Chains A and B, each alone.
Chain A
Amino acid sequence: MRPYTPQDSVSVTAYDSVWATETRPAETQDAFERTMLSEDKLYVVLGVVLLIWFGILVMLFRNERKIAQLEKDVEGLGG
């Protein structure tokens, strides 16, 4: 919702959300989007780096699981 301004008239706002002489925010932005676009969009780069980091973590944890399984197998052999 845009704030009420003196130019508003009920008849116009009822049909049209844009008052011709008024500047309206170009896009609706939620908090996440506002954060991502701040600092000249630097946080988009942070997001990309974090995604890759999480990807590497997933691979690490999968190796971890595999090692644990192999350790169990070794034990099963009595080794």
Chain B
Amino acid sequence: MSKVKLTIKATIAVWMTAVVLGAFLLAIPKMPILEHTARNLYFHVPMWFTLMAALLVSAYQSGKYLRTGNIVHDIRAEQAAWVGVAFGVLGLVTGMLWARFTWYTGTGKWWNNDPKQLMAAVQLLIYGAYFVLRSGFDDERRRARLSGVYNLFAAATVPFLLYILPRQFTSLHPGADGNPAFDEITDPVMRLVLYPAFIGFIALFWWIYDQRVRLALVERALDEQADYAQPTA
């Protein structure tokens, strides 16, 4: 591992520790209903920003593969989407827990069909289909080309499913129909933790993504070596 990467990863570790400490230790204005769960802002929202950053990286790598034909970009696109979706799942489950014990206390409702929740689930399914599509090909080049094109279409749905559509309906989320926007309801002190949390979680994504890409590249190199060692055809 390069020394630069190692330094960056050590920085991420310290950075995220500071984010978690700030998230719990910094005093925030007390709001009815929300109470301490307002602190979930620091964790739940960055999950989605990380998903979007990851999907952007994935689409960029797919585009690069389609232009250059270099399979490394296809591997990067797949791994970015995989880690991104993992963060999306975390965004979904953290949102479920938050809503269940904040706005749906006493009802036992874990899934409330909030428009943003529904659209986010649809978004994850669209990327689930990306992995299913990939598994359908044996030929590396065909898989890379077709899933690369699908990935670009999938990325084009992100702004609609995560921003435009959910804002047309009433929702628990800020900025939705009739709700005040994030800017109007979020105290400045919370931004001290929230913005570093965005950076920290996206950096954490990069860390895991970097590991998975390197593992996939080693796996591919070994496969090729094995093919040379034991010619089957």
Residues of A within 8 A of B (CB): 26-29, 33, 36-37, 39-42, 44-45, 47-49, 51-52, 55-56, 58-59, 63, 66-67, 69-70, 73-74, 76-77
CA–CA, A45 and B87, complex, Å:
17
- Please determine whether A41 and B43 come into contact, CB atoms closer than 8 angstroms: no
- Please determine whether B83 and A59 come into contact, CB atoms closer than 8 angstroms: yes
CA–CA, A47 and B226, complex, Å:
46
- Please determine whether A63 and B215 come into contact, CB atoms closer than 8 angstroms: yes
CB distance from A24 to the nearest CB of B (A): 13
Residues of A within 8 A of B154 (CB): none
- Please determine whether A26 and B222 come into contact, CB atoms closer than 8 angstroms: no
Residues of A within 8 A of B165 (CB): none
Dominant secondary structure of chain A at its interface with chain B: helix
Q: Which residue among A27, A28, A48, A58 has the maximum number of chain B CB atoms within 10 Å of its CB?
A: A48
Residues of A within 8 A of B68 (CB): none
- Please determine whether A41 and B97 come into contact, CB atoms closer than 8 angstroms: no
- Please determine whether A33 and B105 come into contact, CB atoms closer than 8 angstroms: yes
Contact of B219 among A29, A58, A66, A77 (CB under 8 A): A66
CA–CA, A69 and B216, complex, Å:
11
Residues of A within 8 A of B30 (CB): 40
CA–CA, A48 and B24, complex, Å:
12
Residues of A within 8 A of B102 (CB): 41, 44
CA–CA, A28 and B108, complex, Å:
10
- Please determine whether B40 and A28 come into contact, CB atoms closer than 8 angstroms: no
Residues of A within 8 A of B39 (CB): 42, 45
Residues of A within 8 A of B20 (CB): 49
CA–CA, A56 and B90, complex, Å:
10
CB distance from B14 to the nearest CB of A (A): 16
CA–CA, A56 and B200, complex, Å:
14
